[in-house]
C-alpha cells in the first residue's frame, strides 16, 4: 500500500483545501510530543460519510476532555468532510479527522497553544482491517498483557491518540503470536474491547457486551444495540470476565473500520460461525444501515 505521505489529492487543513503534500505540521508540535491530539474515523458508503454528524460531535467531546476547544464548528467540519470526499471522488472509503495542539510551546502545560484540524479521505483497499474472507472465516483474538486504565487514572472518554498506544503494542504482539488482534481487559480484569473495536458475545440467542466504563462510547456499538432492540434480541451490558469467552457460543467485534467482524477464536476458545442466527441478524441489520435501507437512530 502506498505510504500516506506519498499520496496525492486534497486535504482540508485549518479551514481550506490544500495539496496532500502540503498538509504538514512541525516536528515540535505539542500534539506529537505530548499526545494532545484526537481523531475520528468515518466510513464512506456510496459516496456518503456514514453517521458523520455523530462522529463530529464526538470529536468535539474528545477535545473538551483533553481541555481544548475546536477552532471550527460542527457545520463547517461537516461541509469540509463532504468537500474532501467529493474532491477525491470516493465511493467506498474512509475519512480521518484530526485535531491537535500546535508548536507554540513544548512543555506539559499547553494553555496558549493553537489548535489545528485536518480532514483527509481515501479509498479503502480490500483487506484494510482484516483478511478479505474474515466475514466468512472469522478472526482470532488473544488476551493482551496491558489493561485499559480506570477512568480515574486516564481520560478514557476521549478518542485521543495517547489512548491507542496500548492498542498498537498489543496488536503488534498479537500478530507476532499468530492472532489477528488482541482483547484488552480493564483495571478490574474484565473484558473491555479489542485494540480498536468493541466486543460482543452471543449466548443462547442473546447478546452480551462489556460496559464502556474504561473506553469511548462507540458509535458502531450504539448501532448494534439499536439493531438488537429493533430485532427483539435481548442484550445485557455488564462486566464480563475472561471466563465468559468459554461460556459464550459466539463473538464479534464492531467498529467503524471493521464494521461487524465475526470472531472464530479467543485464546483457546473456538466458535462455529455457521448457524449463529444472532450474528447473522446483526450483520444484515448493519448492512441495511450502511446501504441506507434502514435509518440509524442511535441518539
Residue 159 is a catalytic residue: yes
CB burial of residue 249 (10 Å; 0-12, 13-18, 19+): middle
Select from 184, 205, 206 the least CA-distant residue to 195: 184
Q: Which of 10, 157, 159, 171 is catalytic?
A: 159
498479537: which residue's cell? 174
What distance in Å separates the CA atoms of residue 17 and residue 15, rounded to the nearest whole number?
A: 7
Longest dimension (CA), the chain: 58
Do residues 254 and 290 lie in contact, with contact meaning Cβ atoms separated by under 8 Å? Answer: no
Give strand pairing partners of 186: none
DSSP label at residue 160: B
CB burial of residue 22 (10 Å; 0-12, 13-18, 19+): exposed
What distance in Å separates the CA atoms of residue 145 and residue 127, rounded to the nearest whole number?
A: 26
Parallel/antiparallel/unpaired status of strands 198-203 and 206-209: antiparallel
What distance in Å separates the CA atoms of residue 111 and residue 105, rounded to the nearest whole number?
A: 9
What distance in Å separates the CA atoms of residue 39 and residue 100, rounded to the nearest whole number?
A: 9
Backbone angles phi, psi at 221, to 5 degrees: -60, -45
466486543: which residue's cell? 199
Q: Could you give the residue numbers annotated as active site? A: 159
Amino acid at each position: 500500500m502506498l505510504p500516506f505521505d506519498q499520496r496525492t489529492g486534497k486535504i482540508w487543513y485549518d479551514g481550506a483545501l490544500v495539496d496532500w503534500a502540503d498538509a504538514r505540521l512541525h516536528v515540535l508540535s505539542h500534539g506529537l510530543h505530548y499526545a494532545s491530539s484526537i481523531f475520528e474515523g468515518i466510513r464512506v458508503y456510496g459516496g456518503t460519510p456514514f453517521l458523520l454528524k455523530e462522529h463530529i460531535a464526538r470529536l468535539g467531546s474528545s477535545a473538551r476532555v483533553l481541555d481544548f476547544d475546536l477552532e471550527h464548528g460542527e457545520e463547517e467540519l461537516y461541509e469540509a468532510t463532504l468537500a474532501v470526499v467529493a474532491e477525491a471522488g470516493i465511493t467506498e472509503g474512509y475519512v480521518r479527522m484530526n485535531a491537535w495542539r500546535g508548536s507554540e510551546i513544548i512543555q506539559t502545560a499547553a494553555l496558549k497553544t493553537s489548535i489545528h484540524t485536518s480532514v483527509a479521505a481515501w479509498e479503502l483497499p480490500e483487506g484494510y482491517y482484516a483478511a478479505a474472507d474474515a466475514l466468512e472465516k472469522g478472526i482470532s483474538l488473544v488476551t493482551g498483557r496491558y489493561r485499559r486504565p480506570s477512568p480515574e487514572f486516564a481520560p478514557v472518554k476521549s478518542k485521543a491518540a495517547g489512548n491507542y498506544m496500548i492498542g498498537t503494542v498489543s496488536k503488534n504482539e498479537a500478530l507476532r503470536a499468530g492472532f489477528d488482534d488482541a482483547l484488552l481487559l480493564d483495571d478490574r480484569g474484565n473484558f473491555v474491547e479489542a485494540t480498536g473495536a468493541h466486543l460482543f458475545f452471543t449466548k443462547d440467542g442473546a447478546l452480551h457486551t462489556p460496559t464502556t466504563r474504561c473506553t469511548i462510547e462507540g458509535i458502531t456499538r450504539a448501532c448494534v444495540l439499536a439493531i438488537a432492540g429493533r430485532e427483539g434480541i435481548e442484550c445485557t451490558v455488564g462486566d464480563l470476565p475472561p471466563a465468559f469467552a468459554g461460556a459464550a457460543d459466539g463473538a464479534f467485534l464492531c467498529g467503524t473500520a471493521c464494521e461487524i467482524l465475526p470472531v472464530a477464536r479467543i485464546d483457546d476458545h473456538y466458535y462455529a460461525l455457521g448457524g449463529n442466527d444472532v450474528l447473522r441478524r446483526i450483520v444484515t441489520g448493519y448492512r441495511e444501515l450502511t446501504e441506507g435501507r434502514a435509518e440509524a437512530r442511535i441518539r
